Chains A and B, each alone.
Chain A
């Protein structure tokens, strides 16, 4: 295991760093026992444009600080200046990894506050579920092999990115865009499934089935992957509530927390699924849970395609978007994204623009408070594996 060092020799660092009377580590850089190392923002291993400031002793991290803000665009301020419908194209760019989750959240918030939540037609609800699951699938196709990529097993990434592209093709067919779709709009969705969509999607899913088997052989039976991920980056069960850990990261530590089951939204109560869990809470367990979730997502998409009504209304009659005013109110809507609970706090004040929106991304807690704690005593080589295993996505931290 990596924390044993070369030939099982483990250096004794029990006296370093020295602890002062307040319990804080004394990190005197001029003593030459410690070095400052900046990981990012210009570093190919960091998950996006963020930086981690490490204080290291030998090859062991003694202190870590996350620095964010490199992707700050001020969405929350910009949306306060835009009409409800103008806020849509802006808001979906808040998280690039799974943009559709933002579309659903902002549509659901505006519908709920203006009293249209139960007027969305059934067909539209099924299509929304389909789009969200496809978005989760394309996120996982990048995320699962990406974990092996951190250990230089690059071949899985090559397969995964190609298959993700096939899903993006289906998105393009359905919505007209590759990455930012603008498909879920207030009152429904923008279009029906094109002819032959089901057949082509099934072909892609078959390829992904094949990929799931191959990636299992590639990753979970690989000695390098096992050596570097088992027992590394462990999240104990009691941290889950202390740090507000959600999603697959919480499930890998044995806490079954899934918004789709706990607070069912859309049609998830009509679908048959059981969120996978593990108990170890290390990188291996988290990756394995995500791999199982990949199987489950493919299964869910097949269920949705089978159970979905053939046709129906896709849009409720909504007020003129240019004069749309929403009465004073506030709400919080959440969903389960590929990374965990993803929610939005939405406040309206009776005018034609929102008063305040605030996004709650899982990376906000995973990427700052939790990551800083987890990196202490980690090896430098494992830092970026730990970061990827938490699926830190900086644009949703700083918006």
Chain B
């Protein structure tokens, strides 16, 4: 087995020398393997685990049903516990007794599959943006994004940094911006209130917007993530 990995490593090294540099890790490469029953099968690890299909737009249901669903969604905002920047230091005060966001139905979840809101807590370096896209696409729809701090709006004080992005809404759609450096927990609560209002009015349809303008968002993402080694849609 060791020989096989060496062979794979050599092949990827050759690829790197030949043409443009390949960022796909050797274990993720498309290749042929021998299955336990002796037959040869083709595998492509990146696409075997993910659908790779484009996201679909979901039409709202009609009338009262959608209203009821929106009410339910607004009262149970489950936030993905991914502290992407320095704003995440205000999350513990938000969730503990003083500000107590639980009373609004807000709670933290550990995995994207269980959550429907994403707090981008401040500046995003390109390296984190890649993980953010991956987590965002794994979240079930309908999903909402709250962007914290001036650094997600126009770069803030990192506007000239080579490592952080300037505008978040070029890469993933944003429902509510919360300005400040850094925003206070009260501002965050106000942001949640605003988000609830939007959901109840049926205006928080940014997940559909992402599906509609999927190609445009993908092009923007691929422009700055130079080492794209994941599927186009991580669902």
Partner-B contacts on A (CB < 8 A): 28-31, 41-44, 48-49, 69-74, 77-78, 81, 89-90, 93, 96-97, 142, 157-158, 161-162, 164-165, 168, 178-180, 395
Asked whether A161 lies within 8 Å of B92 as measured between CB atoms, the reply is yes
Neighbouring A residues of B224 by C-beta, 8 Å? none
Neighbouring B residues of A31 by C-beta, 8 Å? 1
Partner-A contacts on B (CB < 8 A): 1-2, 4-5, 27, 80-86, 88-90, 92-93, 96-98, 108, 110, 112, 123, 125, 127-128, 131, 135, 157-158, 160-164, 181-182, 184
Q: Given known contacts A42-B112, A70-B125, A74-B164, what 7 new A-B pairs fall within 8 Å (CB)?
A: A28-B2, A70-B127, A72-B163, A77-B161, A96-B89, A162-B97, A162-B98
A73–B159 Cα gap in the complex (Å)?
10
A291–B191 Cα gap in the complex (Å)?
36
**Which residue, B97, B98, B112, B160, has most C-beta atoms of chain A within 10 A?**
B98
A307–B145 Cα gap in the complex (Å)?
50
Asked whether A49 lies within 8 Å of B83 as measured between CB atoms, the reply is yes
**Which residue, A31, A44, A49, A90, has most C-beta atoms of chain B within 10 A?**
A49
Contact of A74 among B2, B110, B112, B161 (CB under 8 A): B161
Asked whether B157 lies within 8 Å of A69 as measured between CB atoms, the reply is no
Asked whether A157 lies within 8 Å of B125 as measured between CB atoms, the reply is no
A6–B64 Cα gap in the complex (Å)?
55
Knowing A70-B131, A89-B157, A158-B97 touch, does A179 contact B108 (C-beta < 8 A)? no
Can you name 10 A-B pairs with beta carbons within 8 Å? A28-B2, A31-B1, A44-B110, A71-B125, A72-B127, A89-B157, A162-B96, A162-B97, A179-B182, A180-B182
Asked whether A30 lies within 8 Å of B5 as measured between CB atoms, the reply is yes
Asked whether B80 lies within 8 Å of A42 as measured between CB atoms, the reply is yes
A29–B127 Cα gap in the complex (Å)?
26
Identify the 7 closest CB pairs spanning chains A and B, nearest first: A96-B86, A30-B1, A161-B96, A44-B81, A42-B82, A70-B128, A74-B161
Asked whether B88 lies within 8 Å of A48 as measured between CB atoms, the reply is yes
A271–B199 Cα gap in the complex (Å)?
56
Asked whether A43 lies within 8 Å of B110 as measured between CB atoms, the reply is yes
Neighbouring B residues of A41 by C-beta, 8 Å? 82, 128, 131
Measured CB to CB, the closest approach of chain A to B28, in angstroms, equals 12
Asked whether B1 lies within 8 Å of A28 as measured between CB atoms, the reply is yes
Measured CB to CB, the closest approach of chain A to B31, in angstroms, equals 13
Residue of A nearest to B85 (CB): A71
A179–B86 Cα gap in the complex (Å)?
10
Knowing A30-B4, A161-B96, A180-B182 touch, does A69 contact B90 (C-beta < 8 A)? no
Asked whether B125 lies within 8 Å of A179 as measured between CB atoms, the reply is no
Neighbouring B residues of A96 by C-beta, 8 Å? 86, 89
A164–B97 Cα gap in the complex (Å)?
12
Neighbouring A residues of B1 by C-beta, 8 Å? 28, 30-31
Neighbouring A residues of B96 by C-beta, 8 Å? 157-158, 161-162
Residue of B nearest to A81 (CB): B160
Asked whether B158 lies within 8 Å of A73 as measured between CB atoms, the reply is yes
Knowing A28-B1, A44-B108, A178-B184 touch, does A69 contact B98 (C-beta < 8 A)? no
Residue of A nearest to B2 (CB): A28
Measured CB to CB, the closest approach of chain A to B188, in angstroms, equals 12
A93–B135 Cα gap in the complex (Å)?
26
Asked whether B92 lies within 8 Å of A49 as measured between CB atoms, the reply is no
A28–B5 Cα gap in the complex (Å)?
9
Neighbouring A residues of B182 by C-beta, 8 Å? 179-180
Neighbouring A residues of B97 by C-beta, 8 Å? 158, 162
Residue of A nearest to B123 (CB): A73
Measured CB to CB, the closest approach of chain B to A20, in angstroms, equals 11
Measured CB to CB, the closest approach of chain B to A58, in angstroms, equals 20
Neighbouring A residues of B158 by C-beta, 8 Å? 73-74, 78
Residue of A nearest to B182 (CB): A179
Contact of A69 among B4, B86, B125, B160 (CB under 8 A): B125
Asked whether B93 lies within 8 Å of A161 as measured between CB atoms, the reply is yes
Contact of B157 among A71, A72, A93, A164 (CB under 8 A): A93
Neighbouring A residues of B127 by C-beta, 8 Å? 69-70, 72
Asked whether B86 lies within 8 Å of A74 as measured between CB atoms, the reply is no
A90–B151 Cα gap in the complex (Å)?
12
Measured CB to CB, the closest approach of chain A to B178, in angstroms, equals 14
Asked whether A78 lies within 8 Å of B160 as measured between CB atoms, the reply is yes
Neighbouring B residues of A71 by C-beta, 8 Å? 85-86, 123, 125, 128
